[in-house]
Structure 1
């Protein structure tokens, strides 16, 4: 059904909420690890911006590749850091990083909005349509904001309706009968659910 799709408006609203939440802690030290990750809070948010940019790129061509990623050049800022195409100039501080996140979210939302229904792009978890890339981008935002919020201590609880539609699009085997946001945290290996221990390995189905 059309109203069950994840769309460009969802991408925009989730990124907007994320930017507002991160802006509230912009003066804190973002060079500390994000939650249980080996990446710093800065690197984690930079990774999210990079994913949104990359997902937009996977769909942007008239005939997107369905067998490999668009060959952007990736590099790491240090051993163990995420491999990124998008690197934000640290001289611009967290305000600049958030500007890059907002811009990358806008790119993905715009590409999702104009992509024909039959357009498909590559992802290693499955060749996907625009709604799938919108859902994947949202997972990157909400899950990694949870990681960052665990360190920088700000409230983070995304729209349960969006979470429910993301679960339906990417995690069809997620257990029923639980609230959408805790279920999405379980599906991404970040929390337990009653009767369901925390997952050590997880994936989505694009």
Structure 2
């Protein structure tokens, strides 16, 4: 099981943090964090339920990560192993993650697929997402996987949809002309865009689009 202690910073003030695997004892708090992290118009039925969380900690506990800051559970990230064909990259979130139940987790998969990441709004200036992403990169290296992959929402696209295609919007974000709350964060984490995917997830702000973004294991060819 994974556990790492470190310090994160609020301005110049260090704050003690623990990145670890979440367990059944964390379920109620994790569901509350989902509600705080994804308010309307994000569909509430896409928040975690206890059955999904139980699958996470039983089918692939290594991919169930959370972060505490000074004893307060502040965020989580979940992943499963899948086979990914770069020649046929299009897919929907509900298909690749089994609607978040991850019953399709493949222990022999070469790709660590990020199902979800959420941080409590009051803790979003501490770099916690990057801390958990780093934990996932370490899992990719430890298991000798090919890549980490996931679909990034593009919530800022709703402001540009009348004049830019989804691909043009992503190009603006990558060039630094536009800042997107999710895509820019993933770029900061070291993820690289692979492809814009339509109908990835019911998501009004992103016009149902997402950007597949990967991090390749630097220790494999």
- Taking structure 1 as the reference length, the TM-score comes to 0.28
Higher relative contact order (CA 8 A, sep 6+): 1
TM-score (norm 2): 0.26
Larger strand fraction of residues: 2
